[in-house]
Amino acid sequence: MNADYVIVGAGSAGCAMAYRLTEAGYSVIVIEYGGTDAGPLIQMPGALSFPMNMKRYDWGYRTEPEPYLGGRRLACPRGKVLGGSSSINGMVYVRGHAGDYEHWEDSGARGWSYADVLPYFKRMECWDDAGHGGDPDWRGAHGPLHVTRGPRTNPLTRAFVEAGMQAGYDVTADYNGEKQEGFGPFEATIHKGQRWSAARAYLRPAEATGLCQVIRGLATKIVIEDGSARGVDVLRHGGEERIHANREVILAASAINSPKLLMLSGIGPGAQLAAHGIDVVANRPGVGRNLQDHLELYIQMAASQPVSLYKYWNLFGKAWVGLQWMLNRSGPGASNQFESTGFIRSRAGVRYPDIQYHFLPIAVRYDGQTAAEGHGFQAHTGPMRSPSRGAVTLRSADPRDAPCILFNYMSHAKDWEDFRTCIRLTREIFAQEAFAPFASHEIQPGADCQTDDELDDFIREHVESAYHPCGTCRMGAADDPQAVVDPECRVIGVERLRVADSSIFPRITNGNLNGPSIMVGEKAADHILGRGVLPRDNAQPWFHPDWETQQR
């Protein structure tokens, strides 16, 4: 079996590349271990807590005991399904901040500045600005990826933005446009009440061309002959099969599985590979290193009125929500309920936002467990640019074994300082007049948790991953010994092999990573096709004019 291009992973970036490569007339085989994304638990936005907790859709990865979190092992969900993590995520759409991409370029990812990537965000978006108040000049209107906003009818959702303004922060009409900093409406990859994953946006149209074939199986090794990738070995139907690439092999298997497959194929830290009995093809010490993530806390408040979504948290309520969605894709099930957000700076001297908020009009965890106290609301908050770094390493040379994942969360003093700041700034926002009609008392951390030591204990016990792993196949200059791919996503030291997914991020971007991951797939496709990249867009993003002296 062969095709011009063989892509490993039908996730956010992989689907985008399949679409663009078939659009150019090339044949593509996409190798995906997971199965179909059909069914209401994936397609209903309001049911988002289910697929990311189901073995059917999730690889089920967990970290090694995290030494700075009391030995806790944190969940690290990754999509094992068509659409990858875009089929099990929270559907929040964030481009990242312009400053993130300036840092990428400064780190050796030449050609990946904000002016370079902005045209790709526009190309991929189908953004309906009707009634939204954003600037259409900053947005794309004809791309495959639908980006919408929720109805924002819940009074708590509106109160969050008003409280941010009362606390002295800016309001932004479109955080994905000129100005990220401030409070405003959230955006999501939802279309007509359904999850709009990369599978729906990109993979289905690619398959419709007749040039894209999806092969279900476990990629075990990249076939490398004379320093050049020739195909991929796959376990399927009880045996091993070789898929041949006429032109190139492209890994888009996530920040966990892409480095794992490189290492299984002999590309990575030479001594570690040799210890597992793997012949070293290219000694790239950066493979699996530079692992990053966003951590977050839930700051939860009890509500003094029955205005939260808790009224649906019973058998009858859930049945009613499900019925509305099944009949006409409407009601609470048609939204991910993340409808208001905020991006703020933690202190003066920070050039652009380093704290993000997800506001939710219910007190609930990602695993679907609500607060025992009933009606409430919460803000998910955490710092955007932790200095902590971890690694993905092989557990064994058996491709069926999960890799070892250690984020080394909270290993820097700055992490603790930043999280304490997040908690205190959030409390200040919830104390504003806008929440006076709705706020009762603080559920967590709780009013008795005030000192640095008390807050640190709470953080250590309750901090959770926001599920944004990245950075393990870092993009950089070809002569950078820690870089894994060059700025055209080519694996350094091996011909005809590229990596294009969140693993190539030099540093994590602001906010949720699905949007930037799809952008990487879009831009990588142009590099693969060798047809030249889109012209730079030199629109000037907004930075707070007094960022050096003011926190807000």
CA–CA distance, 552 with 546 (Å, rounded to integer): 9
Q: Residue written as tokens 């003011």?
A: 550
Residues 145, 205 contacting (CB under 8 angstroms): no
How do 282-283 and 28-32 pair as beta strands? Answer: unpaired
Task: Report which residue type is found at 237.
Answer: H
Query: Cα separation of 365 and 360, whole Å?
Result: 10
Beta strands in 23-176 (DSSP E): 28-32, 61-62, 75-76, 125-127, 145-147
Q: How far is 471 from 404, CA to CA, in rounded Å? A: 16
Q: What per-residue string of b and e applies to 400-436 under the rule 16 or more CB within 10 Å gives b?
A: eebbebebbbbbeeebbebbbbbbebbbebbebebbe
Q: Look up residue 442 and give its amino acid.
A: E
C-alpha–C-alpha distance, residues 184 and 175, integer Å: 7
Instruction: Verify cis geometry, omega within 30 degrees of 0, for the bond prior to 445.
Output: yes
At residue 374, the 3 state secondary structure works out as: coil
Question: Distance between CA 204 and CA 87 in Å, rounded?
Answer: 14
**What is the rounded CA–CA span in Å between residue 194 and residue 199?**
13
Token pair of 493, please? Answer: 């030291």
Q: Which amino acid is at 1?
A: M
Residues 6+ away with beta carbon under 8 Å from 173: 132, 133, 134, 135, 179, 184
Q: What token pair was written down for 123?
A: 């190309």
Neighbour tally for 530: CB within 10 Å: 7
Distances from the Cα of 404 to the Cα of 61, 217, 288, 390, angstroms: 9, 22, 10, 11
d(CA 360, CA 379): 6
Euclidean distance between CA atoms 543 and 457, whole angstroms: 35
- The set of catalytic residues is 468
Determine the angle formed by the axes of helices 114-124 and 514-529, rounding to 10 degrees.
100
